């Protein structure tokens, strides 16, 4: 491991004995590398554990909180007969953009959920989405139900 003993080779000089042992001047760094790797692993595992759960009492300020998703999400429903509802209130299609603009001025978020009956045509859904965009809502989420058909060919019936 550390320094070793190297035997001298050669004929030697006067007054010296043959084969006298000389210290080897090389250092074996393999144990040092092993220790460093073990320490690296220990610190990589321990460092994240040191940062969680630190109790801090934050100072109080007069600044308002950032807007959050605490307001009720706006839901637009397109029924099978083509009628439109904002939340649960029936709305005429001609009045949709004006009502959406009025709602958009009162809301902090431009997120809206669009629920459409499965029998409604694609064109009708796109008309309502265009009205939502014109009314000031650009973050539109389409609401669906889980458990629908998979298009990967696994578990489908009929063929």
DSSP string across 12-58? --TT--TT-EEE------HHHHHHHHHHHHHHHHHHHHHHS-----P
Give the chain's domain count. 1
Q: What is the largest CA-CA distance in the chain?
A: 117
C-alpha–C-alpha distance, residues 150 and 156, integer Å: 7
CB-CB contact of 62 with 97 (8 Å): no
In a domain, 114, yes or no: yes
Give residue 117's domain range. Answer: 74-142
pLDDT tens sequence for the chain (159 residues)? 555 555 555 555 555 556 677 777 788 889 999 999 999 999 888 887 766 544 545 556 665 655 555 667 788 888 888 888 888 888 888 888 888 888 888 887 788 888 888 888 888 889 989 998 888 888 888 877 766 666 776 655 554
H and E: helices and strands count for the chain: 3, 7
- Residue 45 falls inside a structural domain: no
For position 38, what pLDDT does the model report? Answer: 96
Residue 126 inside a domain? The answer is: yes
Which one, of 2, 1, 19, lies nearest residue 11 by Cα?
19
In a domain, 18, yes or no: no
The confidence score (pLDDT) of residue 41 equals 94
pTM above 0.75, yes or no: no
Domain for residue 61, yes or no? Answer: no
Is residue 83, in this structure, part of any structural domain at all?
yes
> At 101, which CATH number?
3.30.420.270
Any domain includes 68: no
The pLDDT value recorded for residue 37 is: 96
- Give pLDDT, residue 28: 85
Beta strands at 89-91 and 111-116: parallel, antiparallel or unpaired: unpaired
**Does residue 27 lie in a domain region?**
no
What is the model's pLDDT at position 39?
95
What does the pLDDT read at residue 33? 93
């Amino acid at each position: 491991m550390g320094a070793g003993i190297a035997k001298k080779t050669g004929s030697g000089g006067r007054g010296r004995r043959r084969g006298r042992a000389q210290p080897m001047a090389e250092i074996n760094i393999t144990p040092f590398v092993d220790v460093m790797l073990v320490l690296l692993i220990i610190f990589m595992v321990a460092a994240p554990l040191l940062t969680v759960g630190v109790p801090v009492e934050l100072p109080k300020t007069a600044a308002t909180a950032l807007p959050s998703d605490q307001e009720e999400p706006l839901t637009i429903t397109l029924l099978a007969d083509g009628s439109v509802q904002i939340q649960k209130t029936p709305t005429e299609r001609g009045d949709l953009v004006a009502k959406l603009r009025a709602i958009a001025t009162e809301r902090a978020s431009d997120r809206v959920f669009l629920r459409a009956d499965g029998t409604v045509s694609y064109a009708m859904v796109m008309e309502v989405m265009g009205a939502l965009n014109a009314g000031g809502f650009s973050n539109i989420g389409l609401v669906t139900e889980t458990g629908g058909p998979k298009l990967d060919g696994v578990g489908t019936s009929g063929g």
